[in-house]
Chains A and B, each alone.
Chain A
Amino acid sequence: MSEVKTLSVSSSPHIRGKRTTRNIMLDVILALVPALVGGVVFFGWRALVLTLVSCAACVFFEWGYRKIMKLDCTVGDLSAIVTGILIAFVLPVSTPIWILIIGDAFAIIFVKQLFGGIGQNFMNPALAARAFLLISWPVALTNWTANKLVDAATSATPLAEGVSAESIKLLDLFLGKTGGCIGEVSAMLLLIGGLYLVIRRVISVRIPLSFIGTVALLAFVFPQNGCDRLYSMGFQGLSGGVMLAAIFMATDYVTSPVTHWGQILFGIGCGALTIFIRYFGSYPEGVSFAILLMNACVGIFDRIGRKKRFGEVKQKEGAAK
C-alpha cells in the first residue's frame, strides 16, 4: 500500500486542453494592439498614456479589492487589463486622467467585483463605466479632439454631425481618418483584431456578424435625411463604436449568451437598439446603451437558444409512428 501516499487520485478527465483564461485574455489584448497603434497615430501619445494608466488602475483596483476582501487574487487572469484597455478605448483622448481613473474604479469595483468578480458580472464593465462617465461628465466625454490625419481644427464625431451632406468619405471612416474615441475610429484595425480572434477561436462570428449585419440592414432600409441607401449602410456600420463594440464588447464571454441562437438573437438585438437610439434618442451614439440593455437579457436569449435535448426529437417521431 506504499502507493497510497505517492499516487495522485482525482476525477476524470486527466488531461486538459491548452486554453486557459489567461491565454484567452492575452489573445484579446493582442487583438486590441492594432487599434491601440491606430489610436496613437490618430490622437498622439496621450492615447497610449491613457491606455496604460487605465490598465494599471484596473489591475490595482482588482488587486486591492480582492486583497481587502480576503479573496483569491485574480489579477493573473489578465481580464482587468482587457477592461482597462477597453475603458480607455471608449473615451476621447482629451479625457482628464482623474475621470478615467474614476471610470476604472467604477468598472472594476462596482460592476465586476461587487457581483463576485470575473465571470459573475452581468454588465460589460467597460461599457458600464463609459455610460457612468457619460452621464456624470457629459462635456468632458464629448470633447472631440481632432484626429491628426484630419485637416479641420476641431471636428465632432461624424455621428454628432449627422449624415445630411454625405460629407464624410466611407473610406476615411474605414481607415480611421475621423474624430472619435481612442480605440473606435478605425474599422480596418479593429477588423484585423477581430479576424485574429476568430482564427484563434477566441470568439465566433455569430455576435459580430449579426450585430453589424442588423445595423447595416436597418440603415439600408431606413436611410436618414434622404441620403443614399448604400451610403447610409456603410456610414452607420463604420462610424461610431459599432466595430469596437461588435467585435470586442458584445462578444465579452461573461455578458453574452453561450448558445448559438442566443448569440445571434443577442447580436440582432444590439444592432437594432443601436440604430433605434441613434435615430430617436438624444445621444448621438447608441452602441454602449444598446449592449448594456442586451446584457440584461442574456438569460432569456440562452433559454430561447438552448439546444434540443439529445434523443427527444426521435422519441416523438417514434411515437408518431
Chain B
Amino acid sequence: MARSFFGGVHPKDMKYLSCDAPITVFPTPKTVTIPMSQHIGAPCKPLVKVGDHVLLGQKIGDNQGLCVPVHASVSGTVKAIEDLPHTNGINMLAIVIENDFEDALDPSVSPRENVDSLSAEQLMDIIREAGIAGMGGATFPAHAKLSSGLQKVDTVIVNAAECEPYITADDRLMREMPEKIIKGLRVVMKIFGLSNAYIGMEDNKPEAAASLKKAIGDDITLCVLHTRYPQGAEKQMIQSITGRQVPPGGLPAAVGCAVFNCATCAAICDAVYDGLPLVRRVVTVTGRAIETPKNYLVPIGTSFRELIDSCGLKEAAYKVLSGGPMMGFTQYDLSVPVIKGTNAVTVFSQKDRVAEKNPHCIRCGRCVDTCPMNLMPLNLYKAERQNDTEALDKLHIMDCIECGCCAYGCPAGIPLVQSFRSAKQKLRNEQQKQKEAVK
C-alpha cells in the first residue's frame, strides 16, 4: 500500500545523540518571553498590561482572523511588552513574564469529563482557544486546518516521520506517550467524521513504532515508511501514504487529506481532555557541541541560552539552529525563545563547518534527481542569477518546498535554497509590480 515520493536524500540522521534520553521536565526559567506571533497568520494583540499578574495557562494574547491565542506558560508578573528577537530572525512583539515559581493554574485549566458528548464545532473551538498551531515547524493554526477540511477530508494522516536529522522530540513522544497521540488523533477523526486514519513514520525509529503499535486500534493504520529525507514534508507524506499529489499551490484538503504532526495530536489531547492550552512542548537540545543532548519538556518562551546552558557545551558553539540541519534557521542571538514550532535547538561546533567550495555548477544533475517536487534546481539557479522572473515562473519556483535536498547533494556547494528564497521574493515583487501596472 505504502508508495514512495520522488527524489530525496539520505543524510546521516545523527539521532543516536539524543534518542535514548527520556523526556525530562525543564526546570522552570526565571522569565519567559512569549512572542505574539507563533503561528502562520495574524499576530496576537496583548490582552495584559505591564505589571499585571498572570496565571499558568491564562490567555494573554489573541486576535481576529487566521490566528490562535497565546497563553502564559508560567505564573508571574508581566515585566515588559516589547519587540524582542524571534527565531525567524527579526524582532517581534512579545510579552515577558517574570516567573513567581508558584505555577498557579488559571481556573480555565481543568479536566473535561464530557468529551464524548462534545460536537465538532465545540471541539474545534476548544482547539482554537488552546492556541494549537502545527508543531512540526510550519505552525499552521490547527482549528483552521480542521474547519477548512470539513466535508473535504477523507484521509487523516499523523506525521510522525521526523525526517530531519538530529531531532528526536517526536521519537521520544511516541515512545513515552503514544496514548496521548492516539487520543488526540481520535478527536481529529471525530471532527472530520472519519472512522480510520493513518500514522506515517520512518523505519529508523523501531522503538517508537512498537510503542505506537501497542496503543493503536484497528481503526488506525501505522505506515512504517523508508527512511529518506524529506519523508515528513507534508506533500511527500501524503504522496507516500495515499499516492495522491497535492496540486501546485493547493492545500492537502484539495486531495482530501489533512496532515497533523504527532506532537500536535498530543497537544490536542491535552487541550481537549485536560483543558491545558499549548504552553509547553518537547524540544530536543542536541548537536556536536552539546555536552549532554536531551529531550526537554519546555515551557513556551524559555530562551535558547537557558536550554543550551542546562545541557552544557563541550565545544564552542559555531552555529545555533532552531530546528534541524536541513531546514533549521540559524540564530544569532540566544535570547530567542522556544515557540510552538520549535522542535529542536541544534548546536554545531566549528567541526560542522561546511567547507567553502567553488560555486561552479557542473550540470551533474544530482539536484534534478533528488528534488522531491520534480523541479530543475540548476535551471532555477541560473534564472535567479539572471533575474529572469519569467523563467522562474515557468520553472515553477513557487513549488519549491525549500527542503534542501538539492543543496545538500550539490558537489559544487552552490547555496541553492538561499538562491530560491531570493528568487521567490523576486517573482513576488515582479507580480506585485505587474498587478499595480494593470490598475
Q: Which residues on A are within 8 Å of B, measured CB to CB?
A: 1, 3-4, 6-17, 19-21, 23-24, 72, 74, 76-77, 79, 117-119, 253-254, 256-259, 302, 306-315, 318
Q: Flag whether B250 is at the interface (Cβ < 8 A).
A: yes
Contact A21:B408 (CB < 8 A) given known A13-B417, A318-B255: no
Q: Flag whether B29 is at the interface (Cβ < 8 A).
A: no
Is A19 a contact partner of B366 (Cβ separation < 8 A)? yes
Contact A72:B358 (CB < 8 A) given known A16-B413, A309-B374, A311-B248: yes
Is A15 a contact partner of B365 (Cβ separation < 8 A)? no
Interface string of B231-265 (1 = CB under 8 A from A): 00001000000001111101000110000000000
- The listed residue (A4, A302, A307, A315) touching B247 by CB distance below 8 A is A315
Is A77 a contact partner of B248 (Cβ separation < 8 A)? no
- The listed residue (A7, A253, A310) touching B248 by CB distance below 8 A is A310
Is B319 a contact partner of A8 (Cβ separation < 8 A)? yes
Is B417 a contact partner of A308 (Cβ separation < 8 A)? no
Please tell me the size bucket of the interface on B: 35 or more
Residues of chain B in range 133-181 having any CB-CB distance to chain A below 8 Å? 165
A1–B335 CA distance with the chains assembled, in angstroms: 8
Q: Flag whether B357 is at the interface (Cβ < 8 A).
A: yes
Q: Which residues on B are within 8 Å of A, measured CB to CB?
A: 6, 9, 11-12, 165, 235, 244-248, 250, 254-255, 316-321, 325-335, 348, 352-354, 357-358, 360-366, 368, 372-374, 376, 378, 396, 399, 402, 404, 407-413, 415, 417-418, 421
Taking CB atoms, residues of chain A closer than 8 Å to B318 are 7-8
A118–B414 CA distance with the chains assembled, in angstroms: 14
Taking CB atoms, residues of chain B closer than 8 Å to A256 are 363
A229–B288 CA distance with the chains assembled, in angstroms: 63
Is A254 a contact partner of B362 (Cβ separation < 8 A)? yes
- The listed residue (A74, A302, A309, A311) touching B358 by CB distance below 8 A is A74
B250 nearest in chain A by CB position: A311
Taking CB atoms, residues of chain A closer than 8 Å to B320 are 3, 7
Closest-CB distance, A124 to chain B (whole angstroms): 12
Taking CB atoms, residues of chain B closer than 8 Å to A79 are 362
A4–B408 CA distance with the chains assembled, in angstroms: 26
Taking CB atoms, residues of chain A closer than 8 Å to B328 are 12, 14
Is A8 a contact partner of B333 (Cβ separation < 8 A)? no
Taking CB atoms, residues of chain B closer than 8 Å to A318 are 247, 254-255
- The listed residue (B327, B409, B415) touching A17 by CB distance below 8 A is B409
Is B248 a contact partner of A17 (Cβ separation < 8 A)? no
Is B332 a contact partner of A9 (Cβ separation < 8 A)? yes
Is A310 a contact partner of B245 (Cβ separation < 8 A)? yes
Taking CB atoms, residues of chain A closer than 8 Å to B12 are 15
Q: A8-B330, A13-B408, A310-B245 are in contact. List 13 more A-B contacts (CB 8 A).
A: A1-B333, A1-B335, A9-B332, A14-B328, A15-B11, A15-B325, A15-B352, A74-B360, A79-B362, A258-B368, A259-B376, A314-B247, A318-B255
18 cross-chain CB contacts under 8 A: A3-B331, A7-B318, A7-B319, A8-B353, A13-B327, A13-B417, A20-B411, A76-B358, A117-B360, A253-B365, A254-B362, A307-B374, A309-B374, A310-B372, A311-B235, A311-B399, A313-B245, A314-B247
Is B330 a contact partner of A14 (Cβ separation < 8 A)? yes
Taking CB atoms, residues of chain A closer than 8 Å to B9 are 17
B334 nearest in chain A by CB position: A3
Taking CB atoms, residues of chain B closer than 8 Å to A309 are 248, 374, 396, 399
A305–B99 CA distance with the chains assembled, in angstroms: 61
Closest-CB distance, A29 to chain B (whole angstroms): 15
A307–B245 CA distance with the chains assembled, in angstroms: 14
Closest-CB distance, B194 to chain A (whole angstroms): 20
A305 nearest in chain B by CB position: B368
Contact A77:B358 (CB < 8 A) given known A258-B363, A310-B373, A311-B246: yes
Taking CB atoms, residues of chain A closer than 8 Å to B407 are 12-13, 16
B409 nearest in chain A by CB position: A17
B401 nearest in chain A by CB position: A310
Closest-CB distance, B138 to chain A (whole angstroms): 14
Taking CB atoms, residues of chain B closer than 8 Å to A315 are 245, 247-248, 250
A75–B329 CA distance with the chains assembled, in angstroms: 34
Is A254 a contact partner of B363 (Cβ separation < 8 A)? yes
Contact A312:B248 (CB < 8 A) given known A7-B330, A21-B411, A259-B368: yes
Taking CB atoms, residues of chain A closer than 8 Å to B421 are 11
- The listed residue (A1, A21, A23) touching B360 by CB distance below 8 A is A21
Is B331 a contact partner of A7 (Cβ separation < 8 A)? yes
Is B245 a contact partner of A118 (Cβ separation < 8 A)? no
Is A258 a contact partner of B330 (Cβ separation < 8 A)? no
Is A118 a contact partner of B362 (Cβ separation < 8 A)? yes
Is B357 a contact partner of A12 (Cβ separation < 8 A)? no
Taking CB atoms, residues of chain A closer than 8 Å to B366 are 19
